[in-house]
Amino acid sequence: MAKDPGAVAQPASFYPQMKAESQCFRQDGISNTIVNGTNPGYQNGLIELNYIVRRLTPTECARLQGFPDYWCDDLDIINPTEDEILFWTEVWETHRKIIGKSNKPKTKKQIIKWLKNPYSDAAEYKMWGNGVALPCVCFVLAAIKWDIKNNA
């Protein structure tokens, strides 16, 4: 039986004394009727497939959206300048006001700590999931440019 979270298994019913062509095996993902065992030898079960579905890595998500592998590399700022701290203080304050969940603004110490390590896989998955594929944006913008140029 498939044990991994997200693993794929095929529902199947089989009767060992039957010929292979009369086995109850479905490929549409719907399980056969589960029997109560009154028919001796009849089995209910799952047939484990030779693969499991795995989670994409953040880099693979970036590639699917048309971005280069290095897009989220080197985001950290180990020794931020006062201007960088001020900029990010304003960004976080704007975010706080828009979201409206926090009553306290981030402190300078919190912002410096975040700038030293701003990356997380969860944040990157969220970014790619809420993003738009770059080739699609380029296609739409090219069509708008063409239309303005030819119909102006």
Does a structural domain hold residue 92?
yes
Instruction: Give yes or no: residues 69 and 143 share one domain.
Output: yes
Q: How far apart are CA 110 and CA 145, in angstroms?
A: 43
- Give pLDDT, residue 135: 92
Question: Do residue 42 and residue 65 come from a single domain?
Answer: no
Please write the tens of the pLDDT for every residue from 42-65: 555 555 556 667 788 999 999 999
Please tell me whether residues 59 and 125 are part of one structural domain. Answer: yes
Q: How far apart are CA 67 and CA 124, in angstroms?
A: 13
Residues 65 and 125 in one domain: yes
Residue 151 amino acid letter: N
Is 105 a domain residue? Answer: yes
Give the residue numbers spanning the domain of 130.
55-75+121-152
CA 138 to CA 145: how far, in whole Å?
Answer: 10
Nearest-5° Cα angle at 107, 101 to 113: 105
Closest to 92 measured CA to CA, from 108, 80, 75: 108
Determine if the pTM surpasses 0.85.
Answer: no
In the prediction, which pLDDT does 152 show? 79
Q: Is residue 151 part of a domain?
A: yes
Per the domain annotation, does 113 fall within a domain? yes
3 state DSSP class of 45: strand
Quick: pLDDT tens for 78-118.
999 999 999 999 999 999 999 888 789 999 999 999 999 99
Provide the domain count of the chain. Answer: 3
**Quick check: is 86 in a domain?**
yes
Q: What is the token pair recorded at 53?
A: 């579905």
User: Both 80 and 114 in a single domain?
Assistant: yes
| 69 and 15 part of one domain | no
Contacts of 22 (CB under 8 A, 6+ apart): 15
Q: Are residues 147 and 130 in the same domain?
A: yes
Do 70 and 125 lie in a common domain? yes
Is residue 97 assigned to a domain?
yes
Amino acid at 136: C
Q: Does 66 lie in the same domain as 90?
A: no
Rounded (5°) CA angle 47-52-57: 170
Our measurement of the distance from residue 57's CA atom to the centroid of its chain's CA atoms, rounded to an integer in Å, reads 8
Residues 64 and 83 in one domain: no
